[in-house]
Chain A
Amino acid sequence: MNSSSRSNRQSQIAPSPTEMPAAAPLPNPAAPNNTLPPAQGAGQPAIQNQTQSSVTGGPPNSGTAVPPNAPPAKPPSHVTYQISHQTEYNYSEPVAVCQNQLRMQPVTGGNLECQDTKVTIDPDPNSWDEHRDYFGNLVTTFSIESIHTALRVVVKSRVTVAAPSISESDASTQWEEALDHGQGPLCPTVAEHRYHSPRILPSETFAAYARPSFTPGRRILEGALDLTRRIHQDFAYDVTATTVDTTTEEAFQLKAGVCQDFAHVEIACLRSIGLAARYVSGYLRTTPPPGKERLIGADESHAWVELYAGEKLGWLGLDPTNACMVSTDHIPICIGRDYGDVSPMRGVVLGGGTNTLKVSVDVEPQPIR
């Protein structure tokens, strides 16, 4: 169905509006022009597998020793996944009308290619629209205008994630090169991620935490990975510690939380020293590759960070929850400034009494054909 959604995210962002194909969704009006650094898609060039295997640990909070003993088996150059994300609401009272927005569908771009994505809604919606939001995410808006007592939304997608690679010369970029030096044309879709957003307020507190990782002249990859690893070490993964509304400052004080909090804290740290960082929502593979531990955050939506590492490297994916660079185990769905821009579903219902919610996510790698 969503043939239009399969166009390349990068091509959605890069060309000027006049170059848009007529059938495509509304062009992103804030698109950078071609002379500027490409705002690459959410899935990002990750570093070589050596780096990854050295940082991928077991569940951070498992208590028992979980040695990072995974053999550096060379990861596949690309993996195809079948994703199913099911959301079910049951209401105590009838709902007269509900209006909802979904941000659950992948779009082709960066190192991700979307072969197919399909939304099924029960009961049948009365009306249905799709559009691309400011960040290029695919948004489905629908309304159900007859009495109902349950709502079920199933999103099934098939995507291929390629393992990115970074050349040695690119990797030598110093972190200061990724700052805004106040000269030359400015790319709004990068620069806006240097400043505060509704849920992330950069401050000296975060900057002080970030500085030991970003010593003068340090390579940006090293610095970013070091910060990612430190957050993983210093923060406890604890689903009871925070809620969806916990502020980044609170999570930083608590030194605990879930992927959303970890990502918010890392973004706050990066922005506080002037770097551009954004929030990525997506999924992790559910079943680990042979010989590897299951990653935290599988079976549900996951979140991580992208750091703008300069023109050559573009956006780097960092997963502070799992202390690793993002590679073929991560499937990006949406990007934004923080969680508020990418929440998978938001809705307004009329009536409904109290509700119960069931969410399940299934991410299965497909055999190579």
Chain B
Amino acid sequence: MNRLKQLFDKKDKDILSVYFTAGYPTLDATLKIAEELQKAGADFLEIGFPYSDPLADGPVIQKSSEVAIENGMTLKVLFEQLKSLREKIHIPVLLMGYANPMIQYGVKEFCKKAAEVGVDGVIVPDLPMYEYEELYKDDFIDNGLSNVFLVTPQTSEERIRKIDGLSNGFIYLLSSSSTTGKALNVSDEIGIYYQRVKDMNLKNPLIIGFGISDQKSFERANQYANGAIVGSAFVKTLADKDDYLSHIPAFVKAIKG
């Protein structure tokens, strides 16, 4: 059974997911960071596969992608690294990245490989519903992978329902219409938007992302959703390639409180 589903069956609040870019700050960092995050108490992980033109990302994740590509990270290398993923990691793991590297790899092959190494789901921000449904849905389903869609404050209710219908993991609720790494939007309007989506009683759990950087923003997100995702704030702490692991326990503790 899909590990994501198991997690959500067991836990329905204060779920912490952490994003980091594969191959950053060093090529072999991927699994070490994953292990450390699991030890520190992260509930699930999003491993980014880098792309040269990440247009939904702010400067921090862009930079990490650039460095990862320079370090030699490719999807081939990543799947090679992930062969031993399930020797030590038991929490759910998603891959996150842009459509083009996946299409070059071959989407069918990508999905097969992901399932083989024990990945539970995939988030591709620039693969919208129509294209997913028309071209790739079967590849995801045949391999038991959850596909996760994003919802923003501007997404209509009708579209949210459709996204809910097509999703089988969770819904990635954006804290604002923005690129990654901006400060959390705490306006009343955003509270109303969270509440509006919460009140829709969707079948998928809600996880809030973008702008979650500390305990305060994590708690605020959890008032409305089942959990939250930390990305840029975490990637920022990894910059020192000689000592990127030692900050991880304190970082996770500071978020979870």
Asked if A and B bind, the verdict is no
Residues of B with Cβ closer than 8 Å to A? none
Residues of A with Cβ closer than 8 Å to B? none
